[in-house]
Amino acid sequence: MGFHRREFLKISGTAALAGALASLGFDLSPVRSYAQALNIRAARETTTICPYCAVGCGLIVHTDQKTGQVLNTEGDSDHPINEGSLCAKGAALYQVAVNPARVTEVLYRAPYSDRWETKSWDWALDRIAARVKESREASFVRQNEKGQQVNRTEGIAHVGSAALDNEECWLLQGMMRALGLVYIEHQARI
């Protein structure tokens, strides 16, 4: 079997690299790969949109029929934007729902304090409601300078986070508009 110069250099270069890696302790012997076992045969399938950026890739979410727990997320091959593919960020979306590192308690840092205090959800919701009411009443505008009825509050803005999906954004829009907010954004547009 004869080699051209280019093929010889390619083969000898590959052999030299393999030898160098082996001498550094890398194991270059073939390994077996296994498909990940996913128990999603009886799961419920729901489609949604990736919340992370404005590309808007489609996903399928598999949830347990009984508990509603998220079992798996993956690209939706029927979606016209991404046709099943996802970037690394979208492919890791499962971790938004299932993540042992997630903070599950309310942590509050008082003004000028240097430490976090753990509070109850009832405490946090009552406090948020009181502060929203106070700001809304202080900044509510019934008419603009032309005398037109506008009924809006200019003292509160809302920025949706990267962990909000399409459906949660829809609910938040309704609630924020009902309060009279006009400064409403989502991180995917920023």
Euclidean distance between CA atoms 176 and 132, whole angstroms? 11
Report the residue from 44, 89, 127, 142 that binds ligand SF4 according to the rule CB under 6 A. 89
Residue 35 or 88 with smaller CB distance to ligand SF4: 88
Q: What angle do CA 160, 162, 164 make, to 5 degrees?
A: 65
Residue 90 or 160 with smaller CB distance to ligand SF4: 90
Residue 63 or 82 with smaller CB distance to ligand SF4: 82
Instruction: State yes or no: residue 86 binds ligand SF4 (CB under 6 A).
Output: yes
**Piece in contact with ligand SF4 (CB under 6 A), picked from 11-19, 45-53, 60-68, 101-109:** 45-53
Nearest to 123 by CA among 136, 110, 134, 113: 110
Which position's Cβ is nearest ligand SF4? Answer: 90
Instruction: State yes or no: residue 70 binds ligand SF4 (CB under 6 A).
Output: no
Residues 6+ positions from 150 with CB-CB distance below 8 Å: 141, 142, 143, 144
Sign of CA dihedral 104, 105, 107, 108: positive
Q: 48: buried, middle or exposed (CB in 10 Å: 19+, 13-18, 0-12)?
A: middle
| Rounded least distance, CB 89 to ligand SF4, Å | 4
Residue 50 or 60 with smaller CB distance to ligand SF4: 50
Binding track, positions 47-66, relative to ligand SF4; x by CB under 6 A: ---x-xx-xxx---------
Euclidean distance between CA atoms 97 and 90, whole angstroms? 13
Residue 90 or 180 with smaller CB distance to ligand SF4: 90
SS3 157: strand
- Residue 123 CB neighbour total at 10 angstroms: 13
| Rounded least distance, CB 143 to ligand SF4, Å | 41
Segment 122 to 161, residues that bind ligand SF4, using CB under 6 A: none
Residues that bind ligand SF4 (CB under 6 A): 50, 52-53, 55-57, 82, 86-87, 89-90
